[in-house]
Structure 1
């Protein structure tokens, strides 16, 4: 039997809930090895390392982890506002990077990282796990194959009342707000299923500049399709998604961003369902894709291409740029729609 490739050696930057879930899923992959963890404090890094049997723990930010010669690929799970600096440090140190969504808080910073990754020949991938899930990938194939006919309307929302410990992070004007925290999920789904919007109409309720508690968006596409999207950390919102077309409706049950099945409801005839549960909590799929890209020498993932990351950030930039202290409404026509 031909031996498989050596494991990709991972470093995890952050010790929060997201990093812990990712570490647990990484243990399910035979071709992955978690060898180092980095945090802002040595004590937090040591506690995380002890919990997950990680060899090395680094405090003081991303620099020490990025300098570890035994780390091939870094998963960045720090707060949104810290993504740009952390990812840049890792790329400059020659590390491949999988960074939590949103990759950065604006298009300009994302393009800066993409140019650096391309120049260094390193993988840079946004950890938009939704695009890597089997159920979501099947839904995209169904749409591409014409199962719904001409797409008319996508509806998707995500949100819930945030627990008190999360409010400081969510209300940080440098990277907080419902749109950047959870609104990127419906936006990413719209990008996957419908492409680049021609116009953006949005309304946000805010308690501080650049910090939206709730945002509703209406996106229009050159094909005539529309997307009704919403996000909030102040109120509960239904977390399922559906795309209606001339021939059928596709449904991703709640929570759509972690979907374990896809349903097709034709205008005529019985409904069909494809149960496609993720492995582990679902982070395994983005991790496997990142490792496949590293082994193939790719700088970007075909499943989560840079164009998709920039497409979502273009919308968030347009909406957040119109912010005010109480509420705002943004109208924006994209370049393609001019």
Structure 2
């Protein structure tokens, strides 16, 4: 085994670039190659980030010098791309949302287990120092038993209807792109979900442009989550207990501070800086698990991913949002890879 973990990136869009930047900030990681359906796009990518350019996804996943594959394509492509990498014998870190629906996710998890290969959803916020500090504070009992989580994430998307955020063929909508973040942390903090109540504004292209969600968790807590492509929301997350609350401050998914406010009025702010663009922490975890021979991360288990996909399936059922993948597993006309 080499000193550095050799990564292959599948896709050349915005999120792939962010991941490539994170690899530069991870001491024991190296970008080995980038795969695209357009060699010119892969060449351009490698000129900026390094590695070998591959003119197909198949060539990338079969490259002998690639240890782990990061899938950074649009949501509807995740199923076929992850399956391709697993069939080639490579461990996979797949960008959220893991798949379009739970049925697809179950098939991929089963395949990874059959082949004894590492597979993890790239829910990078699960590995941020801020969330670790929140867990420490909650576990200390300082704010009492946690009863409620409130989280939102949203911005005004200034894009046309063909953009992936609004295009149903590309898995568009606020829920899969934004809502998954507050939902994931709410479940991480309050546990499994018993009931779901959701409402949404469906836009002219047929995807949800903003969605509000109320969850009741099996442990007795409640969470209120919202996401929007229409409004710039505060994008904060608050965990409230009987004796106070903890707030992951503005843009909770990138926050470098958390604030504790107790019922007696005493407050303090705790610094929680992260490395690089924040993705480094999930890279470190994926590499740790892969080197240890694990097939999943204890911080983002297969069960976590499947449960969250199930919750989002129910939300989509309630708001009337469907995608092609809900009736067919693989698309005969794959969307563009730009994410």
Question: If the length of structure 1 is used for normalisation, what is the TM-score?
Answer: 0.90
**1:254 matched residue in structure 2:** 250
Residues 1:85 and 2:80 aligned together? yes
Distance 1:81 1:222 in 2: 31
Contact 2:161–2:167 (CA<8 Å) still a contact in 1? no
Distance 2:220 2:113 in 1: 35
- Cα deviation, residue 261, structure 1: 1.7
The ranges of structure 1 where at least 4 consecutive aligned residues each deviate by more than 3 angstroms after the TM superposition are 322-325
**1:34 matched residue in structure 2:** 31
The alignment partner of 2:9 has SS state of strand
Contact 1:128–1:304 (CA<8 Å) still a contact in 2? yes
In the TM superposition, what whole-angstrom CA distance separates every residue of 1:263-315 from its partner, at most 9, and x where no partner exists? 21111252222211110010110000000000000000011111221222111
- How many residues align? The count is 320
**2:13 matched residue in structure 1:** 16
The alignment partner of 1:18 has SS state of helix
Q: Which has the higher contact order (CA 8 A, sep 6+)?
A: 2
- Cα deviation, residue 89, structure 1: 0.2
In the TM superposition, what whole-angstrom CA distance separates every residue of 1:162-200 from its partner, at most 9, and x where no partner exists? 131685212232422100010000000101110112111
Query: Equivalent residues in 2 for 1:52-201 (5 A)?
Result: 52-54=49-51, 56-60=52-56, 62-164=57-159, 168-174=163-169, 175-201=171-197
Change (3 A) 1:120 1:53: same
The alignment partner of 1:168 has SS state of coil
Structure 1: give runs of 5+ residues left out of the alignment.
326-338
Distance 1:210 1:118 in 2: 36
**1:332 matched residue in structure 2:** none
Structure 2: give runs of 5+ residues left out of the alignment.
322-339
- Cα deviation, residue 259, structure 1: 2.0
Change (3 A) 1:324 1:28: closer
Change (3 A) 1:294 1:139: same
Change (3 A) 1:34 1:74: same
Distance 1:197 1:125 in 2: 21
Distance 1:65 1:144 in 2: 43
Q: 1:50 aligns with which of 35, 43, 47?
A: 47
The alignment partner of 1:164 has SS state of coil
**1:319 matched residue in structure 2:** 315
Change (3 A) 1:70 1:82: same
Residues 1:304 and 2:306 aligned together? no
**2:264 matched residue in structure 1:** 268
Distance 1:104 1:294 in 2: 21
The alignment partner of 1:204 has SS state of strand
Distance 1:292 1:133 in 2: 16
Contact 1:210–1:321 (CA<8 Å) still a contact in 2? no
Change (3 A) 1:263 1:93: same
Q: 1:234 aligns with which of 222, 230, 235?
A: 230
